[in-house]
A = this chain, B = another copy of it.
Amino acid sequence: MFYSKRDLQFQLFEVLDSESLTKYEYFQDHNRESFDMVLEAAEGIATKMMLPLLTEMDRKEPQLVDGKIRIHEGMKPIIKKMGEDGWVNAAFRYDEGGQQLPTTILNAAGFIFQAANYSSSIFSFMSGGSANLIRTFGSQELIDRFTPDMYSGKWQGTMALTEPDAGSSLSDISTSAEPTETEGVYKIKGQKIYISAGDHDACENIVHLMLAKIKGGPIGAKGISLFVVPQKRPENGELIDNDVITAGIFHKMGYKGAPIAHLSIGSNDGALGYLVGEPHKGLSYMFQLMNEARISVGLNATAIGTAAYHTSLAYAKERPQGRKISEKDPTMPQTTIINHADVKRMLLFQKSVVEGSLALLLYCSKLSDLIHVEEGETKERASLLLDLLTPIAKSYPSEMCCLSTSAAVQVLGGAGYTTDFTVEQYYREARIHPIHEGTTGIHGLDLLGRKITIHNGKAAQIFFEEVSKTMAKASENEDLQPFVENLQKTLGKAQQATGYLLGLAGKGETEKFLADATLYLEMFGIITIAWQWLNQGMVAKEKLNDAHEADQNFYQGKLATMRYFYEYELVKVDSLVKRLQSTDSVTIEMQSDWF
């Protein structure tokens, strides 16, 4: 199996109590049964349609032929099915054709798709995210004109941000928008690169949600506006070519099944774009999609790591090699490798990373649901907390699943390096995630330079309050006391390091303050996942005694993995805080010529 259904149920219904969402009016038609049906439907599509194409889509990459990208033929029925079954707009309102499904459940379903075959999962996700931008910020006319066919899977949606000279530095985009005589309609000109699903032959139209600068507008990020720039303009029931040319396709290390396009817009002066919302507010709109996408990237990484973990776990349970250290008799049969402590360590590492990450990502998904249905202080707290957690929820899984898929390869040894097994593919696929939707470096700056400090540190305060709540509850159980104390102590160290860094900021030493923001993010990530493990451990501890045998094993596994995380991962904070509080600014002082 490529994921653990039991774990997903545990996370959704035992740890998070996702059923409680159904008490809100927006979700009132749902219940545990309907949630289970959604997850089963996802597993059906994942198992029957996506998983069988995992290797195939890696080997037969999309190709640019005569100006059009051709994707794997097997992808076409999947895109159709995802549209027909309502996966693109499942979270949206009934009056939009949606199902008012909680994001928590939709993301859990997405996780199943991604674990089965990451490349195949992105098409409907991109359409859902970009349609969400139109429905939230666009006019009714734009909504009516573009979203229905995006929901149905007939058209593909994308987010078109990156340009050849503006990757991490979005404010430097140069794609231009010139007003036409029709209000809200602009002539677009520019280049966009790395556009996922930016062109392919499974949909009759591609709808780009594109950032561009209206001529004469403010300089930098403040002059960025959001446009719908379709590949073909729907006009009077016809599709008119809109001068969005696929200038190239990117071939890549992994994630090969997804077509990544280089687009040339308006090179023949014929590309029209439709303004979404107000001029110059594009970046703030786009952040809605980017924040969703960041949670999704964390989930993608976790899903790939999960599939790799289960692959290596199955192998370790079957592969005989060597003997237990205490066994000196060479005539005894070999033992399966899962009995070696070092192999168990590599499996526990993977389990702790992927299940810890999944816990955080579903927690964040639930926050997003609460923001949607709650009011007042509860909503505000959830908003601030999600804002703070987003760079962590994106980056921790992204960085760590590169390492956890590497551990999966290592468990298989030589076999893992060959293409006879899927772990090498997972290793290649995982590597994209620390890069797209903001590199880890960018998220470090976002966390330390912004999220920690905004609103007088209120978001960080809420975080500490929530962690403290979990610790207080956990400490009611004597067996969990050592974990609480450990986390408490580590939190104290992290707070001290934070104080030190904010002191630098206070003195105006901005460069020093932010030089190790990536390490700060790493530290914060480890602590956040330790918190999520304490939360899981607490539930496992509660349920262990009354559980039947299979569940006892499951809960024992949870408790042991929590122990692993505290023993092997949480300790890394010690080294990180030591560095974070050091006065040696070598990365600042190092000169380009010295390399």
Contact = CB atoms under 8 A, between A and B. Distances in A.
A440 B595 contact: no
Interface stretch (A149-157, A371-379, A468-476, A562-570): A562-570
B416 A435 contact: yes
Given A330-B221, A331-B219, A342 B574 contact: no
Contacts of A579: 567-568, 571
The oligomer's copy count stands at 2
A515 B417 contact: no
Nearest to A436: B414
A145 to B, nearest CB: 31
Given A563-B584, A590-B344, A417 B435 contact: yes
Interface stretch (A285-293, A299-307, A423-431): A423-431
Interface in A340-365: 340-345, 347-348, 351
Given A252-B424, A595-B313, A417 B432 contact: yes
Contacts of A573: 575
Interface string A403-432: 000100110011011111000100110011
Nearest to A593: B553
Interface in A301-341: 313, 317, 320-326, 330-331, 334, 336, 338-341
* Interface bracket on A: 35 or more
Contacts of A591: 553, 556
Contacts of A439: 410, 413
Contact of A253 (B193, B331, B428, B567): B428
A130 interface: no
Nearest to A317: B592
B575 A414 contact: no
A40 interface: no
A165 interface: yes
Nearest to A415: B167
Interface of A is mostly: helix
A270 interface: no
A251 B172 CA distance: 43
B351 A595 contact: yes
B165 A252 contact: no
A65 interface: no
Contact of A587 (B330, B345, B440): B345
Given A326-B511, A347-B595, A557-B595, A342 B584 contact: no
A588 B428 CA distance: 31
A110 to B, nearest CB: 22
A572 interface: yes
A417 B431 contact: yes
Nearest to A314: B595
Contact of A341 (B424, B563, B587, B592): B587
29 contacts: A167-B321, A167-B413, A169-B322, A169-B323, A171-B330, A172-B321, A220-B331, A253-B417, A253-B428, A317-B592, A345-B518, A409-B431, A410-B435, A410-B439, A427-B431, A553-B591, A556-B594, A557-B594, A560-B590, A564-B586, A564-B587, A564-B590, A567-B582, A567-B586, A571-B575, A571-B578, A572-B572, A573-B575, A574-B578
Given A325-B510, A572-B572, 19 more contacts: A165-B320, A168-B321, A168-B322, A219-B331, A251-B418, A253-B419, A253-B428, A317-B592, A344-B590, A347-B595, A351-B595, A402-B406, A414-B435, A424-B431, A556-B594, A557-B590, A571-B578, A571-B579, A574-B574
Question: Which A-B residue pairs are the 7 nearest by beta carbons?
Answer: A220-B330, A557-B594, A253-B424, A341-B515, A169-B322, A342-B441, A341-B587
